[in-house]
Amino acid sequence: MKENKKIEIIKAYDETKDNVENIKASNMCGCYTCLNIFEASKVKAYVDNSAVCPYCGEQSLIPDVDIELTDDFLLLVNKFWI
């Protein structure tokens, strides 16, 4: 794996934590557990300042504020962390 891809994956993981502000500033967000990409306005629950996925209940939502969300990228994050 290319080093810059790895950095992006680690950054994406970091952005799933303490991300209330970023989720609220996003149009879309993506979950690296269930791989859904959906409107950030669908997020209704936060635990410890981290957004909870409305589909799978995990705190693994990546905001699109400074990460381009694609199915391929979510799958990479999923394979790296799960």
Helix, strand, or coil (residue 73): helix
Within residues 14-53, the interface with Zn ion by CB under 5 A covers 31, 33-34, 53
Selected range binding Zn ion among 17-25, 38-46, 54-62, 67-75, rule: CB under 5 A? 54-62
Please report, for residues 2, 4, 24, 27, the alpha-carbon distance to residue 36 in angstroms, rounded to integers and kept in the order given.
25, 24, 17, 14
Question: For Zn ion, how many residues bind (rule: CB under 5 A)?
Answer: 6
* Site membership for Zn ion, residue 7 (CB under 5 A): no
* Site membership for Zn ion, residue 81 (CB under 5 A): no
Residue 30 corresponds to which amino acid? G
